[in-house]
């Protein structure tokens, strides 16, 4: 039987700020995290790197049923025989590849399973491409799966007046508020709350974008909060390429002509914050101020134009308060991890 080992070399900087606070395999794309996808796709495959001659795979490899089949049948010998396979080289690839991941994950999680019944008050297009888990609540909303599948997780809720176009995933315990307008390809991670207008974005989990405002072509980490009216730009006024700050290059990298906001874990912003095209916000930032944001807001920033450093004890207190709002608590290991990031910022 093949043995699989994941290589994490250089990925913390490459996938900044999201790999600062989690293993790359715990990044969420589509419906599942990368780790959850591999576990489902490669059931029964050993992943013990201590065994001889493991199959080494970069941890930022985009999981797919195609690649899993090559691995399970022993046909995968390297990237040269699978040129169409992708790696998540930069944080904007998380939203860029989310359409593919949503469609692939939908087949994985719904295979040989029966969806819960769609409520009568829900207006639905292509009901065969909608999968609802146990405990989900929805009514008087619109689900259009013509453009891609729609997955509604366990105990999730869609309030009345929401309009959703696939591909889309609402993970366990997450909420879509009244009147929301959500376009694919969008993932709302576990226990997140969303409202307003969202397009082609990934929210990892436990975060809030609960009010009006636009979020597009963006990735939001865990335990983030976007104040009411917050909006990001995802296209330059020149319609040209967007450059995004990246520590791997010690500068800016061209990310294409559509690129939004990339916000690290535990960060939040004030009401009516305007994020510039291709903005990167680090871990545990409190973003506020007039006008468009800078393109890069470092870890533990207090403010945005001329930020000072967030006091560590105050940051920990505030994070703990946000966690209490979702009946969670800050662990000692999380505090230690944040202290490491704080000390080198």
Residue with tokens 């807001």: 297
User: Tell me: the pLDDT tens digits for 98-139?
Assistant: 999 999 999 999 999 999 999 999 999 999 999 999 999 999
Give the integer Cα–Cα distance in Å for 178 and 244.
33
Among 20-29, 40-49, 98-107, 144-153, where is mean pLDDT lowest? Answer: 40-49
pLDDT for the residue numbered 185:
95
pLDDT at 269 over 70: yes
Alpha helices in the chain (DSSP H): 11-14, 34-41, 65-72, 92-96, 98-110, 312-324, 332-343
Comparing CA positions, the residue from 174, 223, 167, 222 lying closest to residue 195 is 174
Residue 252 lies in a domain: yes
Asked whether the beta carbons of 136 and 159 are under 8 A apart, the reply is no
Residue 150 lies in a domain: yes
Residue 91 lies in a domain: no
pLDDT for the residue numbered 1:
42
Give the integer Cα–Cα distance in Å for 202 and 99.
10
Give residue 129's domain range: 109-305
Under the banding of pLDDT at 50, 70 and 90, the label for residue 53 is low
Give the integer Cα–Cα distance in Å for 156 and 189.
10
Q: Is the dihedral of CA 125, 131, 134, 137 positive or negative?
A: negative
Q: What is the mean pLDDT of residues 259-282?
A: 98
pLDDT for the residue numbered 76:
73
| H/E run at residue 33 | strand 32-33
Asked whether the beta carbons of 79 and 67 are under 8 A apart, the reply is no
pLDDT at 46 over 60: no
b/e sequence 47-62, b meaning 16+ C-beta within 10 Å: beeeeeebbebbbbbb
Residue 98 lies in a domain: no
pLDDT at 50 over 60: no
Total count of domains within the chain: 1
pLDDT for the residue numbered 26:
97
User: Tell me: the pLDDT tens digits for 201-222?
Assistant: 999 999 999 999 999 999 999 9
Residue with tokens 């990031």: 341
pLDDT for the residue numbered 161:
98
Residue 63 lies in a domain: no
User: Tell me: the pLDDT tens digits for 74-90?
Assistant: 777 665 555 567 899 99
Q: What is the mean pLDDT of residues 309-338?
A: 97
| Bridge pairing between strands 274-275 and 296-297 | unpaired
* Residue 146 buriedness (CB in 10 A; 0-12 / 13-18 / 19+): exposed
Domain containing residue 150: CATH number: 2.160.10.10
pLDDT at 164 over 70: yes
Residue 209 lies in a domain: yes
Q: What residues contact 344, with CB distance under 8 A and at least 6 apart?
A: none
Residue 225 lies in a domain: yes
Mean predicted lDDT score pLDDT of the chain: 93
More confident residue, 52 or 179: 179
> What pTM, to 2 d.p., does this model score?
0.94
pLDDT for the residue numbered 44:
55
Q: How is the chain split among helix, strand and coil, in percent rounded to 5?
A: 20, 30, 50
Token pair in block for residue 267:
């960060």
Q: What is the dihedral of CA 255, 258, 264, 267, to 10 degrees?
A: 140
76 HSE (CA, 13 A, CB side):
22
More confident residue, 250 or 26: 26
pLDDT at 276 over 70: yes
- Percent residues over pLDDT 90 in the chain: 83
Tell me the backbone φ, ψ of residue 38, rounded to 5 degrees. -60, -40
pLDDT for the residue numbered 83:
52
Long-range contacts of 323-331 (CB under 8 A, 24+ apart): 323/223, 326/191, 326/206, 328/206
pLDDT for the residue numbered 79:
56
């Amino acid at each position: 039987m093949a043995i699989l080992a994941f290589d994490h070399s250089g990925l913390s900087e490459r996938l900044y700020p999201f790999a600062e606070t989690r293993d790359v395999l715990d990044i969420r794309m589509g419906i599942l995290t990368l780790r959850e996808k591999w576990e489902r796709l490669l059931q029964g495959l050993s992943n013990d790197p201590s065994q001889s001659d493991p199959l080494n795979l970069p941890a930022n490899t985009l999981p797919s049923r195609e690649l899993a089949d090559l691995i399970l049948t022993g046909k995968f010998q390297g990237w040269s025989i699978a040129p169409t396979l992708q790696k998540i080289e930069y944080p904007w690839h998380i939203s860029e590849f989310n359409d593919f991941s949503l469609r692939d994950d939908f087949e994985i999680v719904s295979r040989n399973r029966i969806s819960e019944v769609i409520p009568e008050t829900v207006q639905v297009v292509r009901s065969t491409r909608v999968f609802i888990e146990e405990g989900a609540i929805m009514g008087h909303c619109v689900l259009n799966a013509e453009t891609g599948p729609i997955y509604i997780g366990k105990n999730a809720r869609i309030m009345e007046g929401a309009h959703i176009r696939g591909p889309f995933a609402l993970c366990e315990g997450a909420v879509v508020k009244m009147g929301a307008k959500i376009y694919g390809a969008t993932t709302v991670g576990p226990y997140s709350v969303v409202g307003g207008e969202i397009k082609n974005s990934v929210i990892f989990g436990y975060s809030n974008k609960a009010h009006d405002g636009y979020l597009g072509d963006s990735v939001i980490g865990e335990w983030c909060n976007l104040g009411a009216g917050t909006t990001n730009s995802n296209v330059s006024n020149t319609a040209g390429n967007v450059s995004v700050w990246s520590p791997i290059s010690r500068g800016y990298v061209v990310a294409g002509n559509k690129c939004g906001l990339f916000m690290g874990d535990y960060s939040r912003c004030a009401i009516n914050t305007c994020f510039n095209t291709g903005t990167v916000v680090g871990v545990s930032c409190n973003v506020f101020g007039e006008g468009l944001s800078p393109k890069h807001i470092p870890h533990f920033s207090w403010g945005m134009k001329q930020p000072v450093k967030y006091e560590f004890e105050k940051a920990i207190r505030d994070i703990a308060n946000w966690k209490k709002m979702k009946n969670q608590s800050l662990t000692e290991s999380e505090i230690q991890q944040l202290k490491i990031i704080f000390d080198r910022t």
